[in-house]
Amino acid sequence: MDDSQQHEPQGTVEVPADGLIVLAGTPIGNMGDATARLVEWLGTADLIAAEDTRRLHRLVTALGVTVAGRVVSYHEHNEAARTADLLAQVRDGKVLLMVTDAGMPSVSDPGFRLVEAAVAAGVRVTAAPGPSAVLTALALSGLPTDRFCFEGFLPRKAGERAGRLRDLAAERRTMVFFEAPHRLEPMLRALHEAFGPDRRAAVCRELTKTYEEVLRLPLAGLLEWAEATEIRGEIAVVVAGAPDAAPSEPADHVADVAALVAGGLRLKEAVAVVAGEFHVSKRELYSAVLAARA
């Protein structure tokens, strides 16, 4: 076995001659969730791009890892300026490990800009998957998990937040949000106003940590809890998607047909268009139109 094989982290891909970027998931609370691949890459990577170098220091100290590579900060305020230099070093054959404060890089955290630039430059990118606050909250919420979307942080300004939620009012998938503890109450109030008091939801707090808490209540109940509670810690909010709309009857769409006929379509053509759009029987819709004219 040659030296490159001896120093390559077990179970990972072979490092290409023109370098490699590794996105590694870090614990979201419990250090016991650190993966063996994360530990190995921390000790072997030539470069480590960290969202917060102080947090990285605490992480490697807790894991008992000695970092051999150079550590650089990489966060929302410097990623635009630093990406090109990091890519240049990778193309010289170095291995760059990208880590954020918690969870997977690029998911509501720095990393997307680096991956986007790497893909455009033909630089190899892989991942050492690890903990994810999004998936952990979703799994613990008790809400449907077969279809979901991640919405990150809602806008801080009330008007912009309300606009975003209006766009999501008809979303059928389960939705996952992040929120700061001091903004949770106004966020829940906005959700309550946009989605109604009975929409099922869950507030997931301090996931994987000692004081982990998951509250599963309708939005009205969660808002009442938030109004009476001093909230601390990292927060994820999971909200059920909009319920399926009640199926419509052919008679409900007589006016839609009339509008198309008034616009110049023949009756049968208008019936076919409306029946296809609203998934109702053409025959029954046609009959309903004739009955309305009688």
Transcribe 131-161 into DSSP letters. --HHHHHHHHH-S--SSEEEEEEPPSSHHHH
Question: 95 and 214: one domain?
Answer: no
pLDDT tens digits, one per residue of 63-98 = 999 998 999 999 988 888 899 999 999 999 999 999
Average pLDDT, the chain: 90
Question: 141 and 231: one domain?
Answer: yes
Which residues lie closer than 8 Å to 291 by C-beta, 6 or more apart? Answer: none
Task: Give which of 97, 102, 91, 79 is closest to 26, Cα–Cα.
Answer: 102
Is residue 35 over pLDDT 50?
Answer: yes
Average pLDDT over residues 229-252: 89
Q: Which domain holds residue 60?
A: 3-131
pLDDT tens digits, one per residue of 187-202 = 999 999 999 999 999 9
Q: For residue 245, is it within any domain?
A: no
pLDDT tens digits, one per residue of 166-185 = 999 999 999 999 999 999 99
Is residue 11 over pLDDT 60?
Answer: no
Percentage of the residues of the chain whose pLDDT score is greater than 70: 94
Total domain count for the chain? 3
pLDDT at 109: 82
Q: For residue 40, is it within any domain?
A: yes
Percentage of the residues of the chain whose pLDDT score is greater than 90: 78
Prediction pTM value: 0.77
Question: 7 and 86: one domain?
Answer: yes
Q: 271 to each of 77, 78, 262, how far by Cα in Å?
A: 57, 58, 13
Confidence at 146, pLDDT banded by 50, 70, 90: very high
Question: 123 and 20: one domain?
Answer: yes
